[in-house]
Amino acid sequence: MASRGEEEAALAAPLLQAHGGEEEGKSSSSRQRRVARDWWVESKLLWRIVGPAIFQRVALYGINVVAQAFIGHIGDLELAAFSIASTVVAGFNFGFLLGMASALETLCGQAFGAKKHHMLGVYLQRSWVVLLIFAAALTPTYIFMEDLLLLLGQSPELSKLAGKMSVWLIPQHFAMAMLLPLTRFLQSQLKNWVTAVTAGVALAIHVVVTYLLVHRFELGFVGAVAAADMAWWLVVLGQLFYVVGGGCPLSWKGFSMEAFADFWDFIKLSTASGVMLCLENWYYRVLVLLTGYLQNAEIAVDALSICLTINGWEMMIPLGFLAATGVRVANELGAGSGKGARFSIVVSITTSVLIGLVFWCLILAYNDQIALLFSSGKAVLAAVHNLSMLLAFTILLNSVQPVLSGVAIGSGWQALVAYVNIGSYYLVGVPIGIILGWPLGFGVRGIWSGLIGGTAVQTLVLAYLTMRCDWDEEAKVTSARMKKWASTK
């Protein structure tokens, strides 16, 4: 029976090889059988990454959903304050750190595909150093949250409560700086089961601890946020112990000063990745902030935050495909197979869109019940019902866009995509949303509609870049980079 190392090496090998003139002589039915077989093989490779990646993301997202659900039943003001705190500061900072960590999906994925296993541990340590430095630099944004919200024109009562909550989110902030590189380090080696198990265990413990702190010890929102902090650190410690305890013998050789070599180049790639993904992550969070300026803002923010929470939870599925596509594309390019990278993209997008269609139908069918988990207020439930159509179309569109972002990550296009995101989101989506929301009087539905338009533009541009790309040339460039690594070691 094949060893785990042999199995992983096989998975890192290119899926499709060039067959030259052999394919021309084959019958149409033979080619169809070959395509079907290749599709099945690629689907298995994708789902080996997608399945655990979705479970891990759902579980991690569930940690904050559980906190939000408990806080939402404390009061509408508390729910609005938590939504603002987790959006304006924690969400913005998380988006940036998430993007910076995605540089590992490019580097570790390509190194694993090229069988340069020792470099994965070096990249992990390098990413930890970079993310912890940036996390420390961003910490004052949590401390001065109240002042920031007042400066932005939010109400004093909401700003004060959100400021208190944001301080309790600081432990999560540093947990993310440790966890995000760990997760990408493991998933690039197809060890996604580790990330899934640690997240699932932490979520189960989190539900119990949150109930005890909020209801038994009556600590209110402080208990809910503190329980979430503890859960995030449980995931970090679980994955860290696995890595340093011998779970990755080929890629983890202990701490090394190599982590500080080529430091500036790594910072540049990480920063480009950070800008690319944080612009995406911040985009719909801007919607919550803008909604805070509408009349009856508390109800509008509550309804919108519930919709975006549901969208975010479902978004874990396409984000799983983002991770899988990034890894598969990077592996294929690292192995020198442009054809395999292109085929992986087609399979991933098709599968993600089919799943998106299923959830689109579910949202339309159950739009009257989707908000009951988070609130029992009739005004909030009615507002969520009015937004359900926009929620459904956002979910459908997001079944494509993250997968295309995964293509960009796997190919190392982060800097280019950052410019695409700025143009699509902030020069198209936000201005249209503001015009629809205020001058034309459509309120939160108008703001959201404008932002959907920006996402549609970005999706079309990324699709064009993907279709126009010469994947064989991309594979040659990646192979040259692998040889450069080998010659310097």
Instruction: Return the pLDDT at 487.
Output: 54
Q: How confident is the model at residue 26 (pLDDT cuts 50, 70, 90)?
A: low
Q: What is the mean pLDDT of residues 368-376?
A: 77
Give the Cα separation of 97 and 402 in Å (integer). 17
Task: Kindly tell me if the per-residue pLDDT of 136 is higher than 90.
Answer: yes
* More confident call, 183 vs 264: 183
What's residue 484's pLDDT?
Answer: 62
How far apart CA 82 and CA 428 sit, in angstroms, is 29
> For residue 222, what is the DSSP state?
H
| pLDDT value, residue 10 | 41
Q: CB of 113 within 8 A of CB of 333?
A: yes
pLDDT value for 19: 40
Identify which of 143, 171, 323 has the alpha carbon closest to the alpha carbon of residue 236: 171
Answer with the residue of higher pLDDT: 407 or 294: 407
**What is the 3-class SS of 131-183, one letter each residue?**
HHHHHHHHCHHHHCHHHHHHHCCCCHHHHHHHHHHHHHCHHHHHHHHHHHHHH
Tell me which residue has tokens 């990454």: 49
Per-residue pLDDT band for 485 (boundaries 50, 70, 90) equals low
Nearest residue to 57 via CA among 238, 200, 242: 200
Q: Is-contact 276 414, C-beta < 8 A?
A: yes
Q: Which of 360-364, 374-378, 471-475 has the highest mean predicted lDDT (pLDDT)?
A: 360-364
Residues near 485 by beta carbon (within 8 Å), at least 6 away in sequence? 111, 114, 116, 119
**Band of residue 209 on the pLDDT scale cut at 50, 70, 90:** very high
**Can you tell me whether residue 394 is helix, strand or coil?**
helix
Average per-residue pLDDT in the chain? 83
pLDDT the model gives residue 328: 86
User: Is the model more confident about 17 or about 107?
Assistant: 107
pLDDT at 483: 64
Q: What does the radius of gyration of the chain's CA atoms come to, in whole angstroms?
A: 23
pLDDT for 23 equals 46
Q: Is the pLDDT of residue 213 over 90?
A: yes
Cβ proximity of 460 and 470 under 8 Å = no
Lowest mean pLDDT among 51-55, 146-150, 165-169, 290-294: 290-294
What pLDDT, on a 0 to 100 scale, did the predictor assign at position 441? Answer: 85
User: Which conformational region is residue 190 in: left (phi greater than 0), alpha (psi within -120 to 50 degrees), or beta?
Assistant: left
Which whole number is the average pLDDT over 321-328? 84
Dihedral over alpha carbons 410, 272, 176, 458 (to 10 degrees): -70
What is the Cα–Cα distance from 40 to 48, expressed in whole angstroms? 12
Compute CA 129 distance to the chain's CA centroid, rounded to the nearest angstrom. 21
- What is the pTM assigned to this prediction? 0.73
Q: How confident is the model at residue 482 (pLDDT cuts 50, 70, 90)?
A: low
- In this predicted structure, the answer to whether residue 22 has a pLDDT above a threshold of 50 is no
In the structure, what pLDDT confidence band is assigned to residue 481 with cuts at 50, 70 and 90? low
3-state helix, strand, coil in the chain (%, to 5): 85, 0, 15
Q: How far apart are CA 64 and CA 231, in angstroms?
A: 10
